A and B are shown apart, each in its own frame.
Chain A
Amino acid sequence: MSALGLPPFLVLSAFLFACGVVCVAARRNAIGVLMGVELILNAANLNFVAFARFNPAFRLEGQVFALLVVVLAAAEAAVALAIILNFYNNHATVDVDRADELKG
């Protein structure tokens, strides 16, 4: 493992983060946007675990926060899907560009 080091994991995490950002920015389906958010959270989580492995000061903390992020991501997905279902019931679409009723 010492042959590998920290930077490859961080570069992969940066790639996952960039993919998530593109997914959030470019998709019009609300569930696709939610998938982008999941990608971003996974990128952050990969950073937590990689630092827990390679930085002796974060051996426990990295894993603890990774577990908290996994659980909170599940909760966030549940609420987001409930909101999307509600929006679909009222508007018969999941296009995020149509959710503009709060515009002044």
Chain B
Amino acid sequence: MTLEVALFAVIATATAGSAVGVVASRNVVRAAVWLLFTLVGVSLLYFLLGAEFVGAAQLIVYVGGTLVLVVFGVMLTAQGPLQSLKTRPTEWAVGGVLGAALFGLLAAVVSGATGPPGEDRPLPGAGPLGLGFLGLTDSPVSYLLPFEIVSVHLLVVLIGAAYLARAKRRAKL
């Protein structure tokens, strides 16, 4: 049992356990904390796979940005005693059966997958990744257009979210 296998076992168990916590916890604040552990576990898996830049981006953007946003949403929509909306047991049963069937199907398909006989080189780091975005690599494709589209999309989202969530003036009656 090599170090990688042991590390993967520990991190994967923690990640899967906290994903179950996200689903099963009644209180939405606790679900947010479980989601924090899941996201950190996924970023650790990226580090384990050798994709340091993606792991760092996951930590910065997801854990530092998105999750804070979710927690703010929880706080701004807290409803006191009604905070935990109960799900009916039949809905839990249907959802659980659906999820179990989906996981069984996906796992059955996936467990037979064998990667191509891999040369075990490390993944390209942040430098080659940036050059790939700019299209300065040997490969004929460049990702400059998707990069620009995402940039403009972020600007649109910024304006749109600020417009949607703005404090409204009271309508004159």
Interface residues of A (CB under 8 A from B): 1-12, 14-23, 25-32, 34-36, 38-39, 42, 45-46, 49-50, 52-57, 59-60, 62-64, 66-68, 70-75, 77-79, 81-86, 88-89, 92-95
> What secondary structure prevails in chain A residues at the interface with B?
helix
- Of B74, B77, B92, B146, most A-chain CB atoms within 10 Å: B77
Residue contact A72 to B153, C-beta cutoff 8 Å: yes
Residue in A9, A23, A54, A74 whose beta carbon sits within 8 Å of that of B61 in the complex: A74
Chosen A-B contacts, 16 in total, with CB atoms closer than 8 Å, are A1-B49, A7-B111, A14-B106, A15-B103, A16-B38, A21-B99, A35-B32, A38-B66, A42-B42, A54-B118, A63-B53, A63-B123, A63-B124, A64-B143, A72-B150, A78-B157
Of A9, A14, A26, A81, the contact of B69 (CB 8 Å cutoff): A81
B16 sits at the interface (CB 8 A)? yes
Contact among A54, A85, A95 with B85 in the assembled complex (CB-CB below 8 Å) = A95
Which residue of B is nearest A95, CB measured? B85
Min CB–CB distance A72 → chain B (angstroms)? 7
